[in-house]
Amino acid sequence: MPEQMRPEQIQITINQQPMTVAAGSTVAVAVALASLPCRTSITGEPRGPLCAMGICFECRATVNGIAHSRTCQLLCEPAMDIRTQ
Amino acid sequence: MITNYDAVILGAGIVGAACALECARAGMRIAIVERDTIGGGATAAGMGHIVAMDDSPAQLALTGYSRSLWAQLATELPVSVEYHACGTIWVARDDEEMVEVHRKLDYYAAEGIEAEVLDSNALAEAEPNLVRPLAGGLLVPDDAVLYPPCAAGYLVEQAQLHGATLLLGHTVTSAAHGRVSLHDGTAFQTKIIVNATGSLALALTPGLQIKPRKGHLIITDRYPGYLHHQLVELGYLKSAHSSTGDSVAFNVQPRKTGQLLIGSSRQFDSENKRVDREIVAAMIERAALYIPNLPSLSALRIWSGFRAATPDKLPLIGPTEDPTVFLATGHEGLGITTSLGTARLLADHLLGRPTTIPLAPYLPSRLPVEVLHA
Amino acid sequence: MTDSFQTIVVGSGPAGIAAAACAAEAGHRVGIVDDNPNPGGQIWRSLRGQSAPDTSHGGGAAQWYSRLVATSATRLQGWSVFDQPEPGILRAERQGETAHLHYDNLIIATGARERFLPFPGWTLPNVMGVGAIQAMVKGGLPVAGKRIVLAGSGPLLLAVAATLAAARAIIICICEQASLRQLAPFALGLAADPAKIMQGLRYKVATLDVPFHTSTWPVEADGDGVLRSVTISHHGEKQQIPCDYLACGFHLVPNTELAAMLGCRVEAGTVSVDELQRTSISNIFCAGEPTGIGGLELSLIEGQIAGLASAGQDKEARRLFDKKRKASRFADRLAAAFALRPELRKLPQETTIVCRCEDVPYGALKQHHSWRAAKLHTRCGMGPCQGRICGTATHFLLGWNAESVRPPLLPVRIASLASLEAPLNSAISNTQETL
């Protein structure tokens, strides 16, 4: 495994709570680090990423106001507003 | 193998399913023949709305009657049918359309259809995602929506509980003179054949003035609370009424799940199932005039389907020249709405019972049979 | 945005990168389109903070990516292809923007996805795929000190175990559903290929004594809103293992949806191609996993063949046929080794959710006679995954085949459906002339 440069930290919010993540982290990982499920299923089950490659849609959350964003394919950006669905 | 039935219903779409239930409930020995899946044709492709529609007095009579039958059935329907009495708002863009709103209000009142005028503010409050300002609208609170394939499934199940036989996966090759023949060589003797095969009805009963009228729909992901009522523009009837050409009209429906169904489009002269990108784009552009942030929503699927359209926009319900063949088809975009009313009218006719509304406007004999030229 | 290319490659995993590099080196104007933020596909998925493929495991990633970057190929990352409005034009979307991409030749290199089979508790958060957990780790998920069980089937189990071990996870065990007998020819077959032995040894060294159970599979995952333990079964003998993550995937299935949507012949779940990787449509090629799960080497070779053939370099392409034949033998051994056992069909119970998008349980599904009937009557497959997860599962469980693929290939913004290249057909009447 190649050496990592000391990662830059960025500030985001998840469900309006501030959080710091390493730059280059995916939004799905950020939500996992917050110990939250990304979404709730139609019968009320908590759900998180299953495939982590943009196919299962279980990782959906509302990112910067856009609902149903696939968080496993989105990189965290400064001031990103993430809300679990 | 020849089996005797009192009636054989061809097609287990919503109309065939409703007819099967009415006839089975009346004590008739029924078979339902469906070549693919229950509710798999136009029933699956459409919006699933239950609406009062007034293109003509006969249309309003049938939709009003049938709508009340659905309301009576509502409490029995299983959860999977997703019956949702969300009401319809006919949206008026300007003062000219508000005149039409008031005309409709008066007409509906005279016909016993409850309706209420919404002014610009009331409309905005009722539907915050509509563009502002709009002139207002007409709220028809007793309109509803449901999920058609499960509704057809429920009706068939009930018919079976009343003794009906379901023959799934069988294609009918001929149906006339009291005899129904299937692809596998089986045949039935029957007193009554009900052709409820939708836009394919002419294949079995030649000469019917039914033309397939293509439509497109888009379904979105879930946006609970985005829309509360079915929304339709006042120009919808113009689109539905025309007999030629391609047109789109604003018509969006919220499902109980929070998904939105976006329509509507009508095309003649297009018999392939291919999704027409230009039509879909036009449909979206039209809808975006009314709901400006609609284009930002996530679309899951787009599909097309064929409505069975007749020249006068009224279905064909009742006897044909063959004394054993009866029709329950040609419902264009109102199949879900008028399925229960159609079934009741047909059953009443078959059993010699008085009908609740006159059957005359829907009799097949009103339209001459088309003769094929050599 | 509109652009024109002589060759478009869809997918920037190994096959796509090789195809694009070869087509571009042969002089074609090439565009390579991929819906991930960074190139590399799955097996070469980029590490957090880097925008290039992961080159840390060798396998040619560094060399191939350098070759691609050295060409003038246009790299379109983050674009999701969703439609072909007419032959030769793809429509793609990226965060609200739409692109029309014209091509003379198309190379489909859409890779594979994991096969998920339902079992009680599989929907709990922290139950995910095997490739999935690796993707999450590469996306920044810390797993140091976390207890992880790997289960399912396929060489991915060992490969990912190595990644997890290097990230200091505690791998409790690896459960492979195939029997030792079934795996043996695969393992022995590796002896014929020195490169594979090196890979195997590297994995063994990295995994350090992690128990590797064959004929073992998960029967239940438990937890209170999140995974707490998994129960595995070895010929009926059960063992419950407390863990933080269950990485479970049953080998791979080809992503054939784009090919199917374009009208290419797809048979038995794979895209049919001739020896030059040409599909049933003469200007559309397909390389890598969609033509049959075959692993990295075969993907690279097929990518090269497709890239060369698309640029008219058939003779050059044919020079790779021997290598392809050899690599295909590995593919055949893969399929035989990791075939799924019938007991896995008994895993879901009546209440086990099969369609996760619409929460449809197995009991509701299996009474129907076909995928279409089940879909219409239960809404299974009508969610955003468009049946990719549940369709694959029901194919295994019930023998159902999914329907034809219609656009949009994946959910898109409605705005993208409205964006056309040409002006609207003025023959379509709106019911009102003015706003």
Answer yes or no: do C136 and A4 touch at CB < 8 A: no
Q: CA B202, CA B42: separation in Å to the nearest integer?
A: 15
Instruction: Round to whole Å and give the CA distance between C386 and C379.
Output: 11
Which among C96, C376, C428 has CB closest to B248?
C428
Alpha carbon of B77: minimum distance to chain C alpha carbons (Å): 14
Comparing A36-50, C167-181, C204-218, the range with the smallest average pLDDT is C204-218
For range C110-118, the mean pLDDT: 97
C179 phi, psi to nearest 5 deg: -80, 160
Kindly list the residues from chain C whose CB atom is less than 8 angstroms away from the CB atom of residue A19.
Answer: none
C412 has a pLDDT exceeding 90: yes
C-alpha span between B356 and B85 (Å, rounded)? 23
φ, ψ (nearest 5 deg) of residue C198: -60, -45
Which residues from chain A sit within 8 angstroms of residue B221, using beta carbons? Answer: 67-68
Contact between chains at A41 and C383 (C-beta distance less than 8 A): no
CB-based contact C120:C221 (threshold 8 Å): yes
Please give the mean pLDDT across all residues of chain B.
94
Closest CA in chain A for residue B293: A66
- Report pTM: 0.92
The percent of residues above 90 in pLDDT, for chain C, comes to 77
- Report which of B336, B277, B332, B343 is spatially closest to residue B305, judged by C-alpha positions: B332
DSSP-derived 3-state class of residue C314: helix
Residue C96 confidence class, pLDDT cut points 50, 70, 90: confident
Instruction: Say if residues C206 and C165 touch (Cβ distance below 8 Å).
Output: yes
In this structure, what token pair is assigned to residue A52?
Answer: 């982590």
User: Which chains pack against B, by 3+ Cβ pairs within 8 A?
Assistant: A, C
* Amino acid C334: pLDDT: 85
Are C123 and A37 an interchain contact pair (Cβ–Cβ within 8 Å)? no
Q: Which residue does chain A place closest to C80, by CA atoms?
A: A54
- Identify which of B47, B65, B49, B67 has the alpha carbon closest to the alpha carbon of residue B57: B65
Nearest alpha carbon to residue C100 among C28, C33, C37, C21 = C33
Question: B275 and C406 in contact by Cβ < 8 A?
Answer: yes
First to last CA, chain A: 35
Chain-chain contact of B222 with A42 (C-beta, under 8 angstroms): yes
* pLDDT surpassing 80 at residue C47: no
Confidence of residue C236 (pLDDT cuts 50, 70, 90): confident
**C333 or C421: which carries more pLDDT confidence?**
C333
Nearest-Cα residue of chain C relative to residue A29:
C141
CA of B356 to nearest chain C CA: how many angstroms apart?
A: 32
Residue C62 CB neighbours (<10 A): 15
User: Are residues C425 and B298, on separate chains, in Cβ contact within 8 Å?
Assistant: no
Q: Which of A22, A29, A43 sits opposite C136 (nearest CB)?
A: A29
Q: Which residue has the higher pLDDT, C421 or C74?
A: C74
What secondary structure, in 3-state letters, does B135-170 show?
A: CEEEEECCCEECCHHHHHHHHHHHHHHCCCEEEECC
Burial class (CB in 10 A: 0-12, 13-18, 19+), C322: exposed
Q: Ramachandran region of residue B68, left (φ > 0), alpha (ψ -120 to 50) or beta? A: alpha
Q: Any alpha helices (H) in chain B, and if so which ranges?
A: 14-25, 42-45, 57-73, 95-110, 120-126, 148-161, 201-204, 236-241, 277-290, 335-351
CB proximity A33 to C under 8 Å: yes
Q: B167 CA to chain C: closest CA distance, Å?
A: 13
**∠C92-B295-A39 over CA atoms, to 5°?**
85
Q: At C188, which amino acid appears?
A: L
Cross-chain Cβ contact A46/C226 below 8 Å: yes
The predicted pLDDT at position C59 comes to 80
Q: Classify the complex by whether its ipTM is higher than 0.90, answering yes or no.
A: yes
- Residues of chain B with pLDDT > 90: what percent? 91
Say whether A67 and B257 touch across the interface (CB within 8 A): no
B6-62: per-residue pLDDT in tens?
999 999 999 999 999 999 999 999 999 999 999 999 999 999 999 999 999 999 999
- Pick from C123, C135, C389: CB nearest A45: C123
pLDDT at C201 over 80: no
- State whether residue C304 is helix, strand or coil: helix
The answer to whether residues A25 and A71 touch, using CB atoms and an 8 Å cutoff, is no
pLDDT over 60 at C422, yes or no: no
Residue whose entry in the numeric block shows the structure tokens 């379109």: C76
Average pLDDT, chain C: 91
Q: Strand, helix or coil at A46?
A: strand
Confidence (pLDDT) at B287: 97
How close is the nearest chain B Cα to the Cα of A7, in Å?
34
Distance CA B50, CA C165 (A): 59
**Banded pLDDT at B373 (limits 50, 70, 90):** low
* pLDDT tens per residue across span C75-94: 999 999 999 999 999 999 99
CA distance C155 to C167: 19
pLDDT at C423 over 50: no
pLDDT in tens, B229-269: 999 999 777 777 776 778 999 999 999 889 999 999 999 87
A contacts of C135 (beta carbons < 8 Å): 52-53, 72
Question: Chain B: residue nearest C384 by CA?
Answer: B300
Q: How much is the average pLDDT of B134-144?
A: 97
Query: What sign for the dihedral angle of Cα B208, B213, B219, B224?
Result: negative
What count of CB pairs under 8 Å joins B to C?
124
pLDDT in tens, B114-132: 999 999 999 999 999 999 9
